[in-house]
Structure 1
Amino acid sequence: MRKADLVNRISDKTGIPKVDVLVTLETMFKEVKDTLASGENIYIRGFGSFITKKRAAKIGRNIKKNVAVHIPEHYIPAFKPAKEFSMEVKKLKEPKKDSGPGEDADD
């Protein structure tokens, strides 16, 4: 599912115009990014948590040049689903096949 598909579904279910749904989603995504970038986490009861995880410093390797490269410690964004969320997904028998970007769906 792409963002446009999500906007269409929300608009159909709520009756809110697609433009308003798109603005709301874009604002939510921006707030999540800004909040995580500022070092805060977001906790949404029943859905999950948007958190930052600390990756330790390590030595990597550039295989083309066969050189060791120091990778400093850094933070990455992560999502941790709530227990209820995980339980619903576990009940799923077979995931739907979704065509990726640029591919045609078999509808």
Structure 2
Amino acid sequence: MNKQDLIDAVASKTGSTKAKTAEALDALIGTITTVVTQGDTVQLIGFGSFSKGQRAARTGRNPATGAEIHIAAAKTVKFAAGKAFKDAVNGA
């Protein structure tokens, strides 16, 4: 399912127009992105939590040559699924 499919599904369930649903989805994604970028956590009870993480610098290997390479530290996005979401996926 891509973004447009999601918009279509939500619009049909809510009875809203696709344009308003797309606007609401864009606002939701934009807000989550802004909050997580600032270092806060977004918790959606039953669905999951979005937060910002940190990956340390490390040494890796070039698979073609075997030479060691330095991999820089990076910021990452973490998502932890909530219990209700996990249960739904597992069919419980």
| Same fold per superposition (TM over 0.5) | yes
Q: Distance in 2 between matches of 1:67 and 1:31?
A: 42
Deviation at 1:66, TM superposition (A): 4.5
For structure 1, the 5+ residue unaligned runs are: 93-107
Kindly indicate whether residue 70 of structure 2 is the aligned counterpart of residue 70 of structure 1. yes
Structure with the larger RCO, 1 or 2 (CA within 8 Å, 6+ apart): 2
Q: Distance in 1 between matches of 2:12 and 2:41?
A: 31
* Greater Cα offset, 34-43 or 17-26: 34-43
For structure 2, the 5+ residue unaligned runs are: none
* Equivalent residue number for residue 54 of structure 2: 54
Q: Distance in 2 between matches of 1:59 and 1:24?
A: 42
Q: Please, what is the CA RMSD of the aligned residues? A: 1.7
Deviation at 1:72, TM superposition (A): 2.5
Count of residue correspondences: 92
Larger helix share, 1 or 2: 2
